Structure 1
């Protein structure tokens, strides 16, 4: 059994990652504003399938890797920490553009295309790839069943991400307008998230 501390820590990391603006968030907000909430939820279903694919890939891939390569666990841990530091740097970087300024009007698409683009957006999202291939492994106990732990953590990440993204779809217009009109709040959010990501990265590096 995984400890409650491990589960809560991973839940916190998952929450921080989904709240960090990226391709998924931009696409869902753009689609919800331009084509309505229904289109946003159809797009989100594609994003959700992408999460499941990553979870299954990680569950099988991490299990095999950890059993065959002695030091891959530490390599993944360090890689995950370095990625968090990279995200933190982009949050702290002076004069970095507000990510929500990239949101542009989109043409109406069919349900199949909405789903497909949502799926591809998630599968090609480097943040999600690193989440499953570099960050998730360092929460796994090598002495316990790797596959079951991967499925448990993956299911937790998917649940948290879908809940947050559902709220993003519902309140897409208000969120976009608020962030565009309140530059100081957006900047504060970047610094706060950068601090959290830096703390997590240091904790991961020190947790041998």
Structure 2
């Protein structure tokens, strides 16, 4: 079982990643504004379920690899740390551009709530960037020899999509109000991007330097 400090770090990283408006937020927002709040909530649930399924599948795959090659834990720790730094730097570099973008919900074709949930699951499962994210994000937080590697990966992997669900639910419920607030507060969006980027970079360094 991962340590409490590791669990809190992963949750904090997940919150930092969901702080900046992105494709998932736009997807939920489009459903909420274009159909209904309930549809937005259904899309948020679908994305969350898809994320959990993908996290579990990725964790099981990584656990199998780690069981065969012990050195991969250490190697992927460095690769994953570099990936976190790359994500953080990317958020900071794109902060100004993302702050100046106008968030506009897409038109959607009304669907049943069950169909929306399934669509959300598929959107998450079929996104190669999400698969890459889980494969590189999880390893840095795994402690070799600290209990079951598989259990650590399962717990930490499930935490990532779960941390995004609350913000997605808020977006689904607030809908147009969120759109107006985000578009009017460009300075806040700039600050969120910088904050999220610095948090990810700080976590990456702390994994090796143990500053906190």
| TM-score clears 0.5 | yes
Closer, same or farther: CA 180–195 of 1 in aligned 2, 3 Å: same
Q: Which runs of 5+ in 2 are unaligned?
A: none
Report Cα offsets for 1:103-143 as digits up to 9, x if no partner: 33313331254234312322244553344211222222221
Contact kept? 1:32, 1:172, Cα under 8 Å: yes
Closer, same or farther: CA 118–129 of 1 in aligned 2, 3 Å: same
- State how far apart, in whole Å, the 1-side matches of 2:81 and 2:126 are: 20
Structure 2 equivalent of residue 74 of structure 1: 74
Contact kept? 1:76, 1:135, Cα under 8 Å: no
Contact kept? 2:16, 2:197, Cα under 8 Å: no
Structure 2 equivalent of residue 96 of structure 1: 97
Closer, same or farther: CA 81–63 of 1 in aligned 2, 3 Å: same
Contact kept? 1:23, 1:125, Cα under 8 Å: no
Aligned: 1:141 with 2:143: yes
- State how far apart, in whole Å, the 2-side matches of 1:97 and 1:194 are: 13
Task: Give the superposed CA RMSD.
Answer: 2.4
- State how far apart, in whole Å, the 2-side matches of 1:2 and 1:145 are: 9
Structure 1 equivalent of residue 171 of structure 2: 168
1:79 Cα deviation (Å)? 2.8
Structure 1 runs, 4 residues or longer, greater than 6 Å off: none
Structure 2 equivalent of residue 182 of structure 1: 185
1:206 Cα deviation (Å)? 4.3
Contact kept? 1:60, 1:147, Cα under 8 Å: yes
- State how far apart, in whole Å, the 1-side matches of 2:92 and 2:101 are: 17
The alignment covers a number of residue pairs equal to 207
1:178 Cα deviation (Å)? 0.9
Structure 2 equivalent of residue 12 of structure 1: 12
Contact kept? 2:81, 2:140, Cα under 8 Å: no
1:152 Cα deviation (Å)? 2.1
1:23 Cα deviation (Å)? 1.8
Give the one of 122, 125, 129 matched to 1:123. 125
Closer, same or farther: CA 205–25 of 1 in aligned 2, 3 Å: farther
| TM norm structure 2 | 0.83
Match of 2:97, SS?
coil
Closer, same or farther: CA 120–100 of 1 in aligned 2, 3 Å: farther
Aligned: 1:54 with 2:54: yes
Contact kept? 1:26, 1:100, Cα under 8 Å: no
1:13 Cα deviation (Å)? 1.5
1:61 Cα deviation (Å)? 0.7
